[in-house]
Structure 1
Amino acid sequence: MATAPSDEEMLQAVERRVSRPGVTTRLTVPGAAALTWQSVFECRIVRSVERRTERRRRVKGRQSGLANRPTYTHLGTYPVAPPADPGAQRRLELVQEGSLAEEPCEDCVDGKRDCEACEGRGGRPCPRHIECDACHGGPDACWECDGTGHPRTKRSRAPRPRPEGAEARAACKRCRRADVACPKCLGERQVTCPVCKGTGTAGCGTCKGAKRLRHEECGGTGRFTAWTEGVVTHTPAAEELRPAYPPFSKLRKGQWRTAVLTSADDDLPDFLEDAHLKQAAPFLAVKEGEVGRRVTLRYLPLARVELRTDPDRVYYAFPEASGEIEVIGRPSRQRVTALAWAAFAVITLAALVTLTLLR
C-alpha cells in the first residue's frame, strides 16, 4: 500500500499550482506557508446482533413438522454459529427437549360442538299455522260466520257484491256456505306455516339440521399441540462514522485507503492518524448481543495550506488514484467575510440613496 504524501510533497504540489510563468513561489521555505492535515476518515460497521427468546406455544391440531426441529436443553447455552455475512437476517426456531405434547380439546368432542343456535336439536320450534295474510284473520275470513263456523242466520245471506277485479270467494270450510270465504284460508283465518310446512319444527339456518358444528378453536381436530419454543435471531445493525470535511466532489477520485475488519480483535490499520484512532475506539466497542461484525475503514490524506503571500486563498491537496497530487483552491474565510461586508455596504448605500430620492 502506498504511503501518504509528505508535507514537502504537498507543498510542492501547491507550488506548481500557484506559480506563474516567470515567477516561482517557494513554499518549502520556512515561514512561506502553513500546512495542517485535515485527512478524511470514514468508518462503517455492520454488526450481527443475536437475541434469544423462549415461550410456551399452543396451536390447533397435530403439528408433525415440529419433530424435525432442532432441540435444546438450555437455550442460553445452545451453540449457534454466527452468520457468515453480518448483514444477513436469520431466524432459528428450536423445541425444548421433552416439552412437545398433544393435548385434547376440552371444549368439544372429536372436533365438533352442539350448534349454539338450535342447542343441538337441528331445528327450532315453529308455529304450525300463521295468520292469513289475505283476510288477516278477521271477519273477512267468512262473510257468513266470520271464521267462527257458526253462521249468523240459518239462511244464507245474499252474496255481497265483489269489487271489480277482486278475487272470487270460496266455500267456507267451517260453515259450509258457498261463495263467502276468503279464497286463501277458506274461512279458517290461518294458513299452514310456509317455513315448517306445518310440522312445527323449522330447520336451523346455522347448522342446516346437522345439530353439530366444527369447533374452530381447535380447527376441528379435537386436539392441540403444545411445546416450549426457543427462537434465536441474528439481526444486522449498521452504523456510520462520517465526520464533516470539505464537500469537494473531486475527493471521490482520491487515492482512498480501505481496510475491512471482521473481528473485534483485529488491529486497526496503521495508515490512520492518532485523531482517527481516538474517534474509532468508542465507535467500534463491542455491543450487547454482538456475535459478528464487518467494519469498513476509509482514509484519504488531505492537507490544508495557507500562503503568507496570498491570505485571500486557501488550498487543499490530496493524492489522486493515479498517484498525482490534486490541488483545489478556495477563498479564505477572511476573504469570504470581507466580500460579505462589502456586499452589505453596497446594499445599505443603495437603500440610503433610494430613500433620499424619494423624499
Structure 2
Amino acid sequence: MADALSEDDILEAVARHVGRPGQGPQLRRTGADITRLPMLDLCIVRCMEARTTRPESRPGTYDTSERAEYEGDLRDHPVDPPKDPEVSRTVELVLRGSVRTVPCGCDGGRQPCSRCRAGGRLRCDVGPVCPACEGVEPCTWCDGTGERRKDRAPSESAREKSAAGRTACVKCRKPRTACPECRGWGAKRCPKCDDTGFRVCPVCSGERSTAHDPCDGTGLVTLWTGGSVGQAPDRSSLRLPAPAPPLRFRQQAGRAGAWQRVTLGSAGAPLPDGLDPAHLTAVESALTSRRGEVARRVDIGWLQSAAVTIPDDPDHVFYVFPGRDGPEVVPIWSRRRSLRVAAVVAGVVVLVLLMVALV
C-alpha cells in the first residue's frame, strides 16, 4: 500500500508538471499553498432479516417434512445468515406440533356449480340472424311469433306475390308464408343447443357440481402454523470529503490512484489504522449496527491527496495524489478563472443578442 505523500513530494510533483523540475523548494518559498484532501470511499452491504408467522393450509394431505421445524417463539429460532450478505433468500419453517389434517366441510369434495347454479344447463343465446330474411320478416303470417299478425292485413294479390318461393312456417304452420332459409325462425339453426333453447353447462359438464377448490376435491385440508425468515441485502455508501472535489480529479484518482483498501466482515471488526482522523466519526456512524442486521461486508478505500495553489499560476488548482508509479497531478481551473471565462461568455451572448435586435 502506498505511503502518504510528504509536502516536499507534493511540491516537487507540481514543479515537474509546470516544467520546473527540481524547483519544489522554490515553490514553497514563493508562497505555494497546500490543502490536504484525504479521500474516503466506503461501501457497506448489510444482510437484513425479517421474521413472520402465519396460518397456512394446503388441499388434501400435505407433506411438510421438507420444511425445518421451530419451537416456541420464531424470534428465538437460530437461522444462519448467508455466507455472502448480498444473497437474498427466504427460509420457510413449520411450528412443531401444529400440523393437522382435518375434514374440509364440503360435500365429499364437491361444491354446487356456480355457473349454472347446480342446474346442469344454461339458457342458450339466440342463434345467428338468418342471412336471407335478416330476421325482419321470417313469416308473412305470424312474423316469427307463431300467432296471426294483427297490425295489418295484406291484400290477396300482395299475399300471392309474397308467397313466391316461401315455405311452411314451423311456428304457425301456415303454408307458403315462411322464409325458405330459416322457415319462420328468423335465425339459422342454433349450433349450441339445436334450437332447444338450453345447452349443457360448460363448467360442470351437466353434473351440477364441481370439485371443491379449497380441498382440491379431496374433502380434506392440511393446516399448520408457518414461520418465514427473509434475508435481503441493504446497500449504503459514504464518500468523503464533502463537498466533493472536482469530477475530473475524482475520475482520474479513481482510475490511477494507489488506493489503500480493506474489507471488514463483521460489526465488531476494528477499523484500519490508515484512516484520516477527520473521517473516523463519519465512518463509525455509517457502520452502526441496525435492527434486523445479521451479517455485513464493508469495503473501505482511502487515498491521501492534496490541492495546491501557486502564485505563478493563479488560474489553476493542482490536485496531487499518489499513483501506482509515483505522484499524479491533475490541473483544474481555479474559481477565479472559471468566473472570468463565464463573464466573457456572458458578454459574448449579450453582444450577439444586441446585434440580432439591431438587424
Give the alignment's TM-score, normalised by structure 1: 0.72
Aligned counterparts, 1:168-187, within 5 A:
none
Q: Displacement, 1:3?
A: 1.7
Cα distance in 1 for residues equivalent to 2:265 and 2:97: 38
SS in 1 for 2:222: strand
Match of 1:267 among 263, 266, 270: 270
Assess, with a 3 A threshold, how the Cα gap between structure 1 residues 337 and 105 changes in structure 2: closer, same or farther: same
Q: Deviations over 1:67-86 (max 9, x none)?
A: 22111112111111111000
Match of residue 222 from structure 1: 219
Assess, with a 3 A threshold, how the Cα gap between structure 1 residues 35 and 210 changes in structure 2: closer, same or farther: same
Match of residue 276 from structure 1: 279
Aligned counterparts, 1:203-352, within 5 A:
205=201, 207-243=204-240, 244-247=244-247, 248=249, 249-251=251-253, 252-322=255-325, 324-344=326-346, 350=351
Q: Deviations over 1:169-220 (max 9, x none)?
A: 9xxxxxxxxxxx7579xxxxxxxxx9999xx9x7853544434332223221
Q: Report the AA paired with residue 267 of structure 1.
A: P
Assess, with a 3 A threshold, how the Cα gap between structure 1 residues 43 and 24 changes in structure 2: closer, same or farther: closer
Cα distance in 1 for residues equivalent to 2:168 and 2:79: 92
Aligned counterparts, 1:1-359, within 5 A:
1-20=1-20, 24=23, 26-27=25-26, 29=28, 32-64=31-63, 66-73=64-71, 74-106=73-105, 108-115=106-113, 138=147, 163-167=163-167, 205=201, 207-243=204-240, 244-247=244-247, 248=249, 249-251=251-253, 252-322=255-325, 324-344=326-346, 350=351
Q: Deviations over 1:14-58 (max 9, x none)?
A: 12223448x946346456311111122111000000111011112
Q: Deviations over 1:112-153 (max 9, x none)?
A: 1344677767679xxxxxxxx99765579xxxxxxxxxxxxx
Q: Report the AA paired with residue 68 of structure 1.
A: E
Assess, with a 3 A threshold, how the Cα gap between structure 1 residues 269 and 28 changes in structure 2: closer, same or farther: farther
Unaligned runs of 5+ in 2: 123-138, 150-159, 177-189
Checking the alignment, whether the CA contact within 8 Å between 1:26 and 1:32 is kept in structure 2 is: no
SS in 2 for 1:277: helix
Cα distance in 2 for residues equivalent to 1:317 and 1:224: 72
Q: Report the AA paired with residue 238 of structure 1.
A: R
Cα distance in 2 for residues equivalent to 1:313 and 1:26: 19
Cα distance in 2 for residues equivalent to 1:115 and 1:343: 80
Please tell me whether Structure 1 or Structure 2 has the larger radius of gyration of its CA atoms: 1
Checking the alignment, whether the CA contact within 8 Å between 2:2 and 2:259 is kept in structure 1 is: no
Cα distance in 2 for residues equivalent to 1:352 and 1:262: 62
Checking the alignment, whether the CA contact within 8 Å between 1:12 and 1:27 is kept in structure 2 is: no
Q: Report the AA paired with residue 262 of structure 1.
A: G
RMSD of aligned residue pairs (Cα, Å): 3.9
The alignment covers a number of residue pairs equal to 305
Unaligned runs of 5+ in 1: 125-132, 141-160, 170-180, 185-193
Q: Displacement, 1:283?
A: 0.9
Identity of aligned residues (%): 35
Q: Report the AA paired with residue 79 of structure 2.
A: V
Q: Displacement, 1:311?
A: 2.8
Cα distance in 1 for residues equivalent to 2:337 and 2:77: 66
Give the alignment's TM-score, normalised by structure 2: 0.72
Q: Displacement, 1:167?
A: 4.7
Assess, with a 3 A threshold, how the Cα gap between structure 1 residues 138 and 341 changes in structure 2: closer, same or farther: closer
